[in-house]
Structure 1
Amino acid sequence: MKKIPSFKLSIVGLGIALNVIGTFTAFSLKLPILLDSIGTIMVSFLLGPYYGIITGLCGSIVSGITFDIYSLYFAPVQIFVGFFSSLVYNKGLMKDNKRFLGVFVISIFSSFIGAIIAAFVFGGITSSSSSYIVAILSNMGISKVLSVFIVQFLIDYLDRFVAVSLVILVILKIPNNIKQELINN
């Protein structure tokens, strides 16, 4: 088994903490965005998809067992966020105006999985404040699955755009010697 360098392990730990703090903040303040993937995206950009996925899954587990049981059920969404974040970042889709497309790619796949979980496991009602919008759309005659997907995508796109923008700002401030250390290990 290959030993994970402690520097990378520290970055993953920071990412998990960012996910949990973001989730707790959004959960406590009933924000319309989730803030649960800032750490996943950061780690995926810096270390690649494997570390990003691990970060997302661990963040969901910690949040799920401490204050938001729904986070456990939505852990598969973090797999897609971690994988596609790394993919679009490495393809250069997070630079300038391409960022809108890059966030779209991350959001469309993760929203699809999140909508399936929310619609079929929870009937569209979760701890997110967006459940109110799902109820309104459903009462307007839109199918439950489509209502959940529409809301999930809009919320996820906004959430991922905020997360990616914050992460890009942070990455730009990281000294080149530290970035090189991450690449070499």
Structure 2
Amino acid sequence: MTRFDSRTLALMVVGVVINFVGGKLIAALKLPLYLDSIGTVLTGVLAGPIPGALTGVINNVLLGVLDSPTWIPFALTAAAIGLLAGYFGANGWMKSPARVALAGLITGVVAALISAPIATIVFGGVTGGGTDALVAFFRSTGLGLWQSVIGQGIVSDPLDKLITYLIVFAIVRALPRQQVLQFPQGDKVVD
């Protein structure tokens, strides 16, 4: 059972802030990435699947209220990212760079498969982010809307989550071991 102590709750708040800053920076640069789930993955890895999922959902709902309602439907994707990060953290995947990279790629594929129907049905494939350029590229090759949105997701999401997981790996390695061990899954993340 996940412990929702003050440390976990504080990590969730920090995770939302990290998501916000990372996502806004990348969105401003119009890059075909997101980097808006670093805080979700960090929370999931250190505190477990449920805090990770909640961090992602809270982030998307807050952004939907404060910024643009387009964020809210993707709360489902954010929850899946947090759940997977918690699973990988709980099962020792964050101890090896190779497994961290694989976890990022797996999470990216899952995120793409969850996000594609949302982006297609709710937004017609255009969400206003830097990844729209990839959808347009795939459409220009003659692919249909569904194939173009899935193609965009399969190209950008695994790369985005690979980078995200490697950043989280670096953050966890940079933290003092004793601090990491104070989180519910800390003993499964460090040697």
TM-score in terms of structure 2 length: 0.88
Q: Against the structure 1 CA distance between its residues 142 and 154, is the aligned structure 2 distance closer, same or farther, given a 3 Å change threshold?
A: same
Q: What one-letter code is carried by the residue in structure 2 that aligns with 1:154?
A: V
- Within a 5 Å distance, the mapping from 1:20-169 to structure 2 comes to 20-94=20-94, 95-169=96-170
Q: Confirm or deny: 8 A CA contact 2:108 2:162 kept in the other structure.
A: no
Deviations, residues 78-122 of structure 1 (Å, cap 9, x unaligned) = 111011122223333342223332122111111101011011111
Shift, 1:70, TM fit: 1.8
TM-score in terms of structure 1 length: 0.91
Q: Which has the larger displacement, 142-151 or 66-75?
A: 66-75
RMSD across aligned C-alpha pairs, in angstroms? Answer: 2.0
CA distance in 1 between partners of 2:111 and 2:69 (Å): 19
Q: Confirm or deny: 8 A CA contact 2:61 2:71 kept in the other structure.
A: yes
Residue number in structure 2 paired with 1:13? 13
Q: Please list every run of 5 or more consecutive structure 1 residues that lacks an aligned counterpart in the other structure.
A: none
Q: Against the structure 1 CA distance between its residues 148 and 61, is the aligned structure 2 distance closer, same or farther, given a 3 Å change threshold?
A: same
CA distance in 1 between partners of 2:130 and 2:42 (Å): 25
Instruction: Percent identity, please.
Output: 26
Higher relative contact order (CA 8 A, sep 6+): 2
Q: May I ask how many residue pairs the two structures share in their alignment?
A: 184
CA distance in 2 between partners of 1:152 and 1:34 (Å): 11
CA distance in 2 between partners of 1:72 and 1:143 (Å): 25
Shift, 1:74, TM fit: 0.9
CA distance in 2 between partners of 1:4 and 1:99 (Å): 25
1:172 aligns with 2:187: no
Q: Confirm or deny: 8 A CA contact 1:23 1:63 kept in the other structure.
A: no
